Chains A and B, each alone.
Chain A
Amino acid sequence: GESVGLHLPTLSVQEGDNSIINCAYSNSASDYFIWYKQESGKGPQFIIDIRSNMDKRQGQRVTVLLNKTVKHLSLQIAATQPGDSAVYFCAERGSQGNLIFGKGTKLSVKP
């Protein structure tokens, strides 16, 4: 079946360091992946997406890497800032046009 999971439930990094959040998916036919950031009391906010015909996509301070061989997705945040503290979700496209979410990784940034 379709599922999306995360390797680590929590991640603590020092301000200014780079953060890497990992995600595994099970459906090898998945063709669209997306990362969301969710701050406390708010709805998920789009960060970056990637399609299966790409291995890497960069945004402002963020990079998503897709390894289809091992069905692995990662989000890299450069020069992590206190404002990056949140829960991060990866998601893949489901068969109903929906997004199938992982359980999330909580990122804490230490000043």
Chain B
Amino acid sequence: NAGVTQTPKFQVLKTGQSMTLQCAQDMNHEYMSWYRQDPGMGLRLIHYSVGAGITDQGEVPNGYNVSRSTTEDFPLRLLSAAPSQTSVYFCASSYEAGRTEAFFGQGTRLTVV
């Protein structure tokens, strides 16, 4: 099993550009989530999904969209990139939301200039 796969690993965007961060898992987990990690801030929840067709907002959702058309994929879209979105983004999946460990991808380091 590959686990949780994120692409790309690195990305540089100009302010105002849009892009999609990809996330796929092969563990048949229903629960998937996106976090951002900033220095001194730990990981903060952006959006999450409890199953295909269901998404909801987390702690810091502004400027991001998600969709969940399949169990395996959970892409994160930046609508109009801003320097404040410079961060490391992690996708995670778990078998049971908040009751079993979450498996994390390797992260996407995004820089917005």
Contact = CB atoms under 8 A, between A and B. Distances in A.
Contact of B33 (A41, A98, A104): A98
A49 B42 contact: no
How large, as a class, is the contact surface on chain A? Answer: 20 to 34
Interface string B74-113: 0000000000000000101000011111111111000000
Contacts of B99: 32, 93
Contacts, number: 62
B90 A103 contact: no
B102 A99 contact: yes
Contacts of A36: 104
Given A32-B98, A42-B107, A99-B98, A94 B41 contact: no
A89 B43 CA distance: 9
B69 to A, nearest CB: 20
Contacts of B42: 4, 89, 101-104
A46 B58 CA distance: 22
B24 interface: no
A44 interface: yes
B107 to A, nearest CB: 5
